[in-house]
Amino acid sequence: MRPLCLNPSLCSSRFPFFSFSIPIFHKFKNNPTIYKKSQKGPPFFSIRCCGSGSVTAKPSWELRRNRATVQEPDEKVVALRQLFTKPGIGIDAYIIPSQDAHQSEFIAECYMRRAYISGFTGSAGTAIVTKDKAALWTDGRYFLQAEKQLNSSWKLMRAGNFGVPQASEWLNDVLAPGGRVGIDPVSNLFNLLNGEQFLFSYDAAEELKEVISKKNLELVYLYDLNLVDEIWKESRPKPPNKPIRVHDLKYAGIDVVSKLSSLRAELVAAGSSAIVISMLDEVAWLLNLRGSDVPHSPVMYAYLIVEVDAAKLFVDDSKVTSDVMYHLKRAGVELRPYDSILSEIRRLAAEGAHLWLDTSSVNAAIVETYKAACDKYLMNRGSRGKTKNKQYFESDSLPVGPSGVYMQSPVSLAKALKNSSELEGMQNSHLRDAAALAQFWCWLEEEIHKNVKLTEVDLADKLLEFRSKQDGFLDTSFDTISGSGANGAIIHYTPEAESCSVVDPNKLFLLDSGAQYVDGTTDITRTVHFGEPTAREKECFTRVLKGHIALDEAVFPENTPGFVLDAFARSALWKIGLDYRHGTGHGVGAALNVHEGPQSISFRYGNVTPLQKGMIVSNEPGYYEDHAFGIRIEVQSHSAISVRS
């Protein structure tokens, strides 16, 4: 995500009652233009290996089983291609992203279009289908999983690997000049240009449009239909409609009125009269609400528009209980139908609103609708002469008519900096979670010593049983990663009953799991061996542990971004030529999403968000030897993210 950039000098004297600012929304300074990721060259120019010699692991594509040279027929892909030539479509390629309209990592089943069309179920990835090719881009966490799940009609593009083309380059290569590339502008796009895990919507579409235009390709927004839905038809799951609940103030720490007041002060300071909040966890945090529309994440599908004197929640009202209705009325929040968001955007533009849009998270349909409505406003104004409206007016400091204010959502950072109640809830939930884990490991050790045969699914289910007995338990915070031996090398492995392995006491076992409680969210990983590990496994585990400790003990200056600290966790592995294909740390929500931004600890140094006191960040270095074993050690911390004089 882009760093927050606010300009207090834009604060208008016409809004004196917003001259104060409750210190919920925090400002910081940094320069987002300093750090640019190079797209050229391998990840290392040279590696000096110490000890007895070079230690390397073969890449997965050298070890995987040979596949048939004849492509398997794929009825879904064939059906999708048949839609390309229909009237009103006329495209040569179609892009299917992973995300829903809100850039969610975990999504409701009805929005899992990429998984439906490709068979690949990982949370990150983008599929592209042309008239004669099908390709899927995903990152290093999912290479092995994608190899297993994709049939031979799909080509796996290992994003970030040397020599793998970016999706825009691939489109320029495989399509003839004049070709048309279709997308659903409501869906958010995986970052097609560099293959990373940062997600974009309007920004990604605009950048993709610019790149492919160099080969005379056209990006086409298909507003009226999603092509995957057209072939999914009646078998597509229904949208979720479970009830929303109020998140108790003793866990939230700050009431909704105070949060909205602080946000409105930020709007005025930025020269904006309204803001669109589309990230589901931001809506939930700002309104102290929680839902269950999305697996593992206590959020509900909704948009929120906050104006200087009003707020509207766009949501399916069948989910709104009487308690939630009372809660929203007290905060001055009105209800609107979920699917009326675009008409409200048009209304705001027609009234001259200066709309704050975070184009890195708001989908292209909203941004394009607002821009089109702004153009219409200016055309009408030009033909009718100068007009006035009741809400938004001209001033010396603000432009005439509606205009977009394009900056990162201020809610993102405010949510990341946990208040004392949120921190207390996180600590308490971790204590209860630790008790469940202690019971689980004790049970497992006894079962192993009794030579009981247990599958990876058996272990995941038993851990869920222990957790579900803890006070305040709601759900797992992600699908439990329970991997024995080679399955532990699949970074985001999810065991399935019909295909999982029996846990082998003579192999490493990796368990990455977490839970959602009413007061907090947990995420923890441990790697164990029930017998005698090999010298190689001991060596790798020790180096991962050294990296974990080095990061935990790191002392760093104020305003240090997370990518600066990433090398602390990798250094011991680098010394013998090893590495891992995922970030070292991610933000964790307080009774919210298990992965949250804007902060991270990662080699992806485009994120220059400083680590600040109050942020909760995971510490999880690892090492994975494809088709052999996996190692990861993870805890969450907030006390380490502090400033020392």
Q: Return the CATH number at 624.
A: 3.90.230.10
Start-to-end C-alpha separation, the chain: 29
Q: Quick check: is 47 in a domain?
A: no
- For residue 66, what pLDDT band results from cuts at 50, 70 and 90? very low
End residue of a domain, out of 203, 235, 267: 235
Give yes or no: residues 537 and 620 share one domain. yes
% the chain with pLDDT above 90: 64
Angle at 120 between CA 233 and CA 84, to 5 degrees: 45
Contact 593, 618 (CB under 8 A): no
Same domain, yes or no: 90 and 217: yes
Structural domain includes residue 26: no
pLDDT in tens, 205-260: 788 888 898 899 999 988 778 899 999 998 999 989 999 999 999 999 999 999 99
- Whole-angstrom CA distances from 149 to 51, 117, 137, 451 are 38, 12, 13, 32
Q: Answer with the one of 389, 415, 441 that is the final residue of a domain.
A: 415
Structural domain boundaries, residue 91:
75-235
Say yes or no: 303 and 409 in one domain: yes
The answer to whether residues 221 and 91 belong to one domain is yes
Residue 396 has pLDDT above 50, yes or no: no
- 441 and 583 together in one domain: yes
Total structural domains within the chain: 3
Does residue 262 share a domain with residue 190?
no
**Same domain membership, residue 588 and residue 445:** yes
The larger pLDDT score, comparing residue 581 to residue 105, is at 581
Rounded CA-CA distance 613/414 in Å is 12
Check whether 400 has a pLDDT greater than 70.
Answer: no
CATH number at residue 280: 3.40.350.10
Q: How far apart are CA 619 and CA 637, in angstroms?
A: 7
Whether 101 and 192 share a structural domain: yes
Give yes or no for a contact between 286 and 303, defined as CB atoms under 8 angstroms apart: no
Coil, strand or helix at 39: coil
* Rg of the chain (C-alpha set): 25
Three-class secondary structure of residue 464 per DSSP: helix
Amino acid sitting at position 226: N
β-pairing, 155-158 with 134-138?
parallel
Q: Tens digits of per-residue pLDDT, 129-172?
A: 999 999 999 988 888 889 989 999 999 999 888 889 988 899 99
- Cα(577)–Cα(43) distance, integer angstroms: 12
Question: How many angstroms separate the CA atoms of 427 and 411, rounded?
Answer: 23
- pLDDT (0 to 100) of residue 209: 85
Residues 332, 440, single domain; the answer is no
Compute the Cα dihedral for 92, 96, 101, 102 and give only its sign: negative
Q: Residue 57 has what DSSP assignment?
A: -
| Cα 503 from Cα 488, distance rounded (Å) | 11
Q: Is there a single domain that holds both residue 275 and residue 226? A: no
Domain boundary among 213, 235, 257: 235
Asked if 441 contacts 511 with a C-beta cutoff of 8 angstroms, the reply is no
Same domain for 471 and 437? yes
Residues 352 and 493 in one domain: no
CB 183 within 8 A of CB 163: no
